[in-house]
Amino acid sequence: MTTPVVGLETIPRHLPRRLTIAFWFGYWATDTAPGEGFADLEKAFRDLVARGFNTVRIDGLWSWCFRPDGSRRPPLEIGRVAEPGYCDYGAGTSARGGQRVDALQRLLELFALARKYGVYVALTTWEYHPGHTLGFIADPAVRQEILDIPVPERFAYTATQIDRLLQVLRQEGFADRIAYVELHNEIEISLALGLPGGPGAIRRATEEQLDWLRARHPDLLFTGDHTLPCPEHGFDYAVTAGFLDALPGNAQLLDHHLYAWACGVQVALFRQAGTGIGQQDLDEAIPRLSRENELYRWLLRPDAIPWEEYKRHLGCDWFQQWWAPLYLYQNMDIDRWDYWLFRHYPEYEERMQGFWRNAIALVSQRARERGVPLVCDEGYICWPPTHSQFEPSAVGRANFDFIIDHMLQAGYWGYMVSTYAFPGQPLWEQQADWLARTHARILSAT
Distance CA 143, CA 148 (A): 9
Residue 279 confidence (pLDDT):
83
pLDDT digit string, tens, across residues 407-424: 999 999 999 999 999 999
What mean pLDDT, rounded, does the chain reach?
Answer: 97
Read off φ and ψ for residue 149, nearest 5 degrees. Answer: -65, 125
Can you say how many angstroms the Cα of residue 264 is from the centroid of all Cα atoms in its chain?
18
Q: Is residue 258 part of a domain?
A: yes
Q: Is residue 45 part of a domain?
A: yes
Contacts of 68 (CB under 8 A, 6+ apart): 145, 146, 149, 157
pTM of the model: 0.98
Q: Is residue 374 part of a domain?
A: yes
| Eight-state DSSP code of residue 304 | P
Distance CA 189, CA 132 (A): 12
- Among 168, 261, 149, 251, smallest CA distance to 206 is for 251
Q: Is residue 1 part of a domain?
A: no
Asked if residue 98 lies in contact with residue 78, where contact means CB atoms within 8 angstroms, the answer is yes
Read off φ and ψ for residue 379, nearest 5 degrees. Answer: 155, 175
Residue 83 confidence (pLDDT):
95
Distance CA 125, CA 134 (A): 10
Q: Residue 186 maps to which CATH number?
A: 3.20.20.80
pLDDT digit string, tens, across residues 351-381: 999 999 999 999 999 999 999 999 999 999 9
With H, G, I as helix, E, B as strand and everything else as coil, classify residue 120: strand
Q: Is residue 242 part of a domain?
A: yes
- Among 360, 168, 176, 162, smallest CA distance to 260 is for 360
Q: Is residue 2 part of a domain?
A: no
Residue 194 scores a pLDDT above 90: yes
With H, G, I as helix, E, B as strand and everything else as coil, classify residue 365: helix
Residue 242 CB neighbour total at 10 angstroms? 12
- Spell out the alpha helix ranges (H) of 198-278: 198-216, 237-245, 265-273
| Eight-state DSSP code of residue 228 | P
State which H helix or E strand residue 172 sits in: none
pLDDT digit string, tens, across residues 380-406: 999 999 999 999 999 999 999 999 999
* Number of compact structural domains in the chain: 1
342 confidence band (pLDDT: 50, 70, 90): very high
Residue 52 confidence (pLDDT):
98
Residue 166 confidence (pLDDT):
98
Residue 113 confidence (pLDDT):
99
Q: Is residue 135 part of a domain?
A: yes
Distance CA 88, CA 75 (A): 26
Q: Is 16 exposed, middle or buried (0-12, 13-18, 19+ CB in 10 A)?
A: middle
Asked if residue 191 lies in contact with residue 146, where contact means CB atoms within 8 angstroms, the answer is no
pLDDT digit string, tens, across residues 227-263: 999 999 999 999 999 999 999 999 999 999 999 999 9
308 confidence band (pLDDT: 50, 70, 90): very high
List C-alpha distances in Å: 222 to 15, 94, 158, 214, 259. Answer: 14, 31, 13, 7, 23
Q: Is residue 27 part of a domain?
A: yes
Mean pLDDT of 312-334: 97
Distance CA 117, CA 371 (A): 31
With H, G, I as helix, E, B as strand and everything else as coil, classify residue 443: helix
112 confidence band (pLDDT: 50, 70, 90): very high
What residue numbers bound the domain in which 82 lies? 8-444
